[in-house]
Structure 1
């Protein structure tokens, strides 16, 4: 921008940006999609470069915006690019700081966060008071603007004079505020203050984030929105870790406080969803190996929630692309064949394990087509309880699909190698017991 515009042009643009952002502080402001607020906010970090003499005022503005939890609407493409599903202005600002301001000035970025940590609880208290005072007033009133005015009156002399310590004092912060700071920190940070903060909040979140409390609310925000955004950030932080050996240390609280709930599957979903975009092979499988023992516990429990967790752990995910070269997928190498073999030997007593492995082999794991015959045999032969289990038609169809493809690709070997034939017939016998006409027909063809 500096190469194309002269100083007057740049100043003119800055004034337009600030003027639009100041709408947020107007008593009558009501957010509307495409009113320019989002675009104006996105440009704020760039102003530091051209207006260094106004740094304090820009920092103050960004801290005020971090106080603002008003929901805004972003396009699906922008949400995916920025990495959050749900956005308040505070989370949007945090993401902008992470993506743009840290590279320009870590000092300024840290200053913003220290001011936010110090003053957010006081601002939240003022907002709470104003919400009570305005309970019976028109809903369209912009209480945030009134809160900023009251905050400035009460704390204006001390605001922006926070002593920068060697830690973030989070004792007075709620989960939403902690998450806002987390969103603003770069994934690859090696800052000791950041890492200490992250370890502290991971312990706190691990004890609360996976409870079945869908209606929990705080400051007008739902807990499921908090959980979604936190888990996406957690996945990004872990998968982008430059030191793989540190991953277990960061995930330890989630191992120690592991719960088999509907919310826990969202943790695995977040990791798969992000890994599908950024391709962090080593870190992803480090995470999966860390959770292995907990998946064994899920297998023993065998209820609805535990089975949903197992499905995701075995990469039985609903959003894989159909038209993709899965035969050459980077995430599956030779060593992952051993991983699935061990699964078949150790937790094959759970029907969900069998079905998820078969679905995996039918799509994303089809490069393991020949290895899979061993896995499925392990499960069927070593877990007699499955013979009395009731299978749904769709589940039977997954096994039929695998058998049809295996026979088609290995037809010659089946007739030449008695062990190969024995393995596929074992699966067909199992399916015939489940009243599969397809399996009966395939078995007859091989006899």
Structure 2
């Protein structure tokens, strides 16, 4: 690998492109009234996806980039769940019918911070409001350190089909530096209980670029985790943005590796997982060959949303909870981030939308291009959907940023097909950014490209 390319491109800060435009482009021009109109316009025969945000944890992991609150008391969680159920009923009423649901995702925070009874009550509210069937995929994010047997059994009773377990690193030195002590035994026990409860697919999250992390410790973590045989892995680069996430100031920046070290760790993890029988999917996911994520990648039907790579192809995503983002044909709508303001709006009978974005045709075109590049590492401009056209300045020789990547050998043209070269796929976000019309406008700090 060209060290100069890693240095110049790997240290640039770019969006992860889980949406386009990205969240910093959202504005307060989109409010509750617009959101209600969008809910009412969803075609009744189109299945939707649901995302529920539970923003509570028992302790703070210092690397965390999520919207979450630390609480040792149960009362704030119970109050929040009451409001969350009220929001579910309000949204269902605005939609005017029991819309069928293809996918549900519980994120956070730690969604399993609620008790089994509370979780089953929440899922009962969803079932009473939406059309949920045995075919609905239900996924949840889990902290293995706090998952109880009773909660695992409740997840099975609720029909959970997929679970994502945070692992990050098994290196004790790294764990101490990020305030997350978690043994391999705890992780294996959680996996066992989830399998027994009926989870068909389990994902492990790993992170590279953490303080004191080395190539050797990254490989060891990958090997130990792979021996447990989860169906998928998501392998993310740590994004150190202490100006945005104040608790990250507790991490010693001097203990973080540079772009070369981060790239070496990422590639070492990838090699270890591939040697263990996993297939590389997109930028940062790995899956067993028989997993639906692998099949979607083969068929070029992979998608990318706020949870990363997914097989979910619903055109509408409805977000519930503070900070949750919904995606509609017309654009994006985000709930108020502050739990108090979110709760006050919902309890007063309002929807909690505080900002969003209305898509233009050009946004849809650029979003489609970026998603296909992120998922397939190539794009046939001659096979774009009908009505999708971009000016000459956006593609081909007139796109100066893209032209530079061609000259560097990072991408190549083969007729109308733009391809990211295999050895440079870790820079796919750099390639995607060539089609981002808003790059650099907001001043928001993003993660490094490698």
Identify whether the pair has TM-score above 0.5, normalized to the shorter chain: no
TM-score (norm 2): 0.27
- Considering Cα pairs closer than 8 Å and 6+ residues apart, tell me whether 1 or 2 has the greater RCO: 2
Larger gyration radius, structure 1 or structure 2: 1
Which one has a larger percent helix, Structure 1 or Structure 2?
Answer: 1
